[in-house]
Chains A and B, each alone.
Chain A
Amino acid sequence: MASAAGPERRILIDVSTSLRWKGHNPVGIVRTERELVQHFLNHCPQAAFFSYDSADDAFWLVPREEVAALFPAAPTVSATTPSHGRLDEKVLLRFRSDDVVVSVGLQWDIAYMVRLYAEKKRRGMFVVQMVYDIVPIVMPEYCVPGMERKFPQFIVDAAWTADLIFCISESTRRDLESYYARVGLKAPVMARALLGSDIPTASLADPAGKLGLVPGEFVLYVSTIEPRKNHQMLFNIWRELHETARESLVPLIFVGNVGWNTADLMHFIKASEALHPDYDRVMSDVADAELDWLYRNARFTLYPSLYEGWGLPVAESLARGKVCIASNASSIPEVGGPLSDLLDPLDHVGWRDRIRHFLTDGEALAAREAEIREGFEPASWGACMRRFQDDLFAALPR
């Protein structure tokens, strides 16, 4: 194992989010944490795992067996390896000065960073934090009430606590540095983390029947359903195309959990006799294998979000050779570059015309797919996590 950190330095990986989301389909941050945990579990002997428990306001060491149980389908190495003098029980974590503490999880709803700051003041560990985006700071109006306090607190506390912050895009990095400057804080050292676009496909044999969709005869938008994601614009476009170009229209499938402040949109969808359910449907709690099938069999995909920290569905679409008409806002252009079809997310007419173009011109769609297959290099989670580890170890003080 190449390890710039030295073999004895303990790498503490936070698994709090994965433990809290155990049993759910991992999306977004949960998936990232699970990929990181799985990588360090299998490839880094000096890794240990911990969680922060809000109820008793304490950090716990989590036994490797319990961590390995998060991935029942995946082969694990370390889970069966003897623990060489370590107490592999859930025990209170006591930080040491040479510990490296890494978290890529959801921390803003809990007192994780405040407690970690106190520990760092006492022990002086090297703290690493992942930041995905600063949506509640940039667009507080699109977030659940209360987030306008909790999230900036987490971000500011991270500046006080972390020695190294990984950002998942250059856009997030710029926004974060700009915010720190505005509040008068010196930004910690920043590094870039890459996210993979492969989806595990182990379990389901043939999802097509269950989903009730005809291959090639639907358009896909994968995203949590919330106002920032701009589903309403797509609904309006489908409403318009239903009136003006019904002969070429195929169903629009929203895949994602229904989030906050979407009651109006859900009412629109369900009350629309023209569109629902033949031309517009919502699918929640979609398993990994189903998601993979949906990407592979969609006519093309859409991603009109107003603001993102990255834009993983764009990469997931391109990785499967599918055209993605995507927003040109924030980080999204970084994902697919010229291989994604970028439009202003507020340009209703532009989106309508581009969608109609790909619905009606099969040759153009096929040509664009060929360009994507030729030009897009999908990143695997494994490769991204290896690079994360290398960058982390390289950043540690010698």
Chain B
Amino acid sequence: MKLLTLTTYRIDLPRHGGQIRVNALHRVLRAQGWTTRHMAVHVPAEGDPVDGADHLFPLDAAYHRHLERIEGRTDIDAADFLVRDAGRFEAACAVIDGYDPDVIWLEHPWLWPFVKAYRAAHPGSRARIVYGSANVETQLVEAVTRGLSKGARERIRERVRAMEDELAGACDGIVACSPGDLLHFQSYGKPSVLAANGVWPKAQRSDTELWARRTARFGTALFVASGHPPNATGFVTMLGNSLAYLAPDERIVVVGSVMRLLEAPGYWREHRGFNLSRILDAGVLDEGGLATLLDLAGGVILPITEGGGTNLKTAEALYNRRPIVATSAAMRGFERFADFPGVTVRDEPQAFQAALKALLAERDRPALTYMPEQERELETLLWPATLCAVAPFLDALAAQARTRSLPAPKTSAQPAAAMETWSQHRLRPLLARGWHEFEPGGAWSRERVAVLRLRFPGAGPGPIHLRAHVEVFNPHKRSVEIEIFTPNGLQATHSFGGKDRKRAMAIRIDEIDRDADDMTEIYFRSSALFSPISSRNGGDARLLGFRITAIDVAREELPGTRASAMRGLWAGTIGPLLDRLR
């Protein structure tokens, strides 16, 4: 079995989280007999190995100039580097054709436009497409576009949304790295599996004397993070705008390129110079240096406030039996360890800072001790354990491909279904009744029943498929239901639990739902409305139910949650309701 992974970074000298995860995937699959290769469209970095086994497409100066002009990003816009140059595109296609992989694994959606173009040009490819899903990127895009112009932000936001949505809808399987992400992607109706992030046993320590000398006079906490903007945002949010609460003999040891962000303007509103004086900048370290600091530091802080997925650093700190101060976002996927010795989870910045101070104060803390069952649980953090479901999952996908036999699956050669998205101001004319004032981010429902009126001029025969992106306001994390009706009856009932707030709801508009002008209405009935002010969630005194942030429209069925479809079953009861609504 052959795997080809595609990312926007090399993995032969793994340093940051994404590199470590993909590298681990290769190691684990190879140990199970797979052949693996990696292809990267990347920015060359100092210290990169000269000879690598990866298939590399380093971005050139001309492309950097292009990105500068459009305020583009080297990751999100990476696929264009291949797709817009015939020579490079053929070279990249030749890598796939020459290798003939069973599975192409996209760790992010960024290179999907290339794979999509490849599939269109090579319809006979047997490779199954897997979205490796390090995160739900659509939810993170805001964090990486701060500082860009409005136009650039909107372009990137839309591109990320479109790429991820299209890939999740078109791929053959999805591997998510946290239960939350898995739930999100399950709405696309694809085979999916959870493979949390893990850790390798600690490497041999290096530079021990150097780091022992540099940290000797201080109580220290370790923060390890790459230059991904949310890492700096989380650090500043949780540790605060002023680090003056750290005593003269207390320091945060920062490992990784996040330091370059913290040094630059934009993260701390003020006191940047002083705050940096409370940081020991360890730079980017190899595994040996990191192992040394893990041992020397009083503990590890995981101030993560945004993002999905599971955090490699959490696994690393847990497995190495170090005291931890973390947010619950950092513990995502590791919730079972939350009450382990030395683990403190705090989501309020002040409480987080108090826990950090307590950690720094215990400079001579004895080693943490664990119960035998806790020791066993910690061993499940190793990569071979966290990725154990991946190989069978990929085997099954590849087997499906074989049973369908050649020619390649019809869908793989077809262009994606034409889809239109209505969002922001395009939603305003659709708000018929039961809504608060229009807001570009999505108008909130004001009454239990809120109604959209839609027209599909010239739609012709056949159903129209919608996917409504709905977000409920549920500050008390109660069970909330939203029922969806069309004139023809109840379509579905969606139940929202404590934590899930957003869902893409599939709705089918049949010819019978539309009148002669191709107009129809959709009725959303929510079981509860809440007020932000009464739930101490701001000063807004309105009663809010849910809001619709976007509606996708297509002639083909769109992936989305159908919930309990009961079309027709309620015809007897919906009639009176509709009568009242009219």
Interface set of A (CB-CB < 8 Å, partner B): 113-115, 117-118, 121, 140, 148-153, 156-157, 159-161, 182-185
Q: Distance (Å) between the CB of B129 and the closest chain A CB? A: 49
Q: Are B277 and A121 in contact (CB under 8 A)?
A: no
Interface string of B238-265 (1 = CB under 8 A from A): 0000101101110000000000000000
Q: Are A156 and B244 in contact (CB under 8 A)?
A: yes
If A157-B248, A160-B248, A161-B248 touch, whether A118 touches B274 (CB-CB below 8 Å) is no
If A150-B277, A183-B274 touch, whether A117 touches B242 (CB-CB below 8 Å) is no
Cβ of B273 under 8 Å from chain A: yes
If A149-B276, A152-B273 touch, whether A182 touches B242 (CB-CB below 8 Å) is yes
Cβ of B271 under 8 Å from chain A: yes
The 8 Å CB contact of A149, one of B242, B244, B270, B273, is B273
Q: Are A160 and B247 in contact (CB under 8 A)?
A: yes
Q: Are B248 and A117 in contact (CB under 8 A)?
A: yes
If A157-B248, A160-B247 touch, whether A152 touches B277 (CB-CB below 8 Å) is yes
Q: Are B242 and A183 in contact (CB under 8 A)?
A: yes
Q: Distance (Å) between the CB of A144 and the closest chain B CB? A: 12
Interface set of B (CB-CB < 8 Å, partner A): 217, 242, 244-245, 247-249, 270-274, 276-278
Most buried by A among B244, B271, B277, B278: B244
A153 to B248, CA, bound (A): 8
Q: Distance (Å) between the CB of B172 and the closest chain A CB? A: 52
Q: Are B273 and A118 in contact (CB under 8 A)?
A: no
Nearest A-chain residue to B277, judged by Cβ: A153
By secondary structure, the A interface counts as helix
By secondary structure, the B interface counts as loop
Most buried by B among A140, A149, A182, A185: A149
What residues of B have a CB within 8 angstroms of the CB of A156 in the complex? Answer: 244, 248, 274
9 A-B interface contacts by CB (under 8 A)? A114-B248, A114-B249, A121-B249, A149-B276, A152-B277, A156-B274, A160-B247, A182-B271, A185-B245
A328 to B532, CA, bound (A): 51
Q: Are A117 and B273 in contact (CB under 8 A)?
A: no
Q: Distance (Å) between the CB of B196 and the closest chain A CB? A: 38
A27 to B189, CA, bound (A): 78
Nearest A-chain residue to B270, judged by Cβ: A182
If A117-B247, A157-B248, A184-B244 touch, whether A140 touches B273 (CB-CB below 8 Å) is yes
Q: Distance (Å) between the CB of B217 and the closest chain A CB? A: 7
Nearest B-chain residue to A157, judged by Cβ: B248
Nearest B-chain residue to A140, judged by Cβ: B273
Most buried by B among A114, A182, A183, A184: A183
Q: Are B249 and A152 in contact (CB under 8 A)?
A: no
Q: Are A118 and B217 in contact (CB under 8 A)?
A: yes
What residues of B have a CB within 8 angstroms of the CB of A150 in the complex? Answer: 277
A184 to B241, CA, bound (A): 10
Nearest A-chain residue to B240, judged by Cβ: A184
If A153-B277, A182-B242 touch, whether A117 touches B270 (CB-CB below 8 Å) is no
Q: Are A152 and B274 in contact (CB under 8 A)?
A: yes
Q: Are A183 and B244 in contact (CB under 8 A)?
A: yes
A183 to B269, CA, bound (A): 12
A331 to B455, CA, bound (A): 72
Nearest B-chain residue to A159, judged by Cβ: B244
What residues of A have a CB within 8 angstroms of the CB of B271 in the complex? Answer: 152, 182-183
The 8 Å CB contact of A114, one of B217, B242, B274, is B217
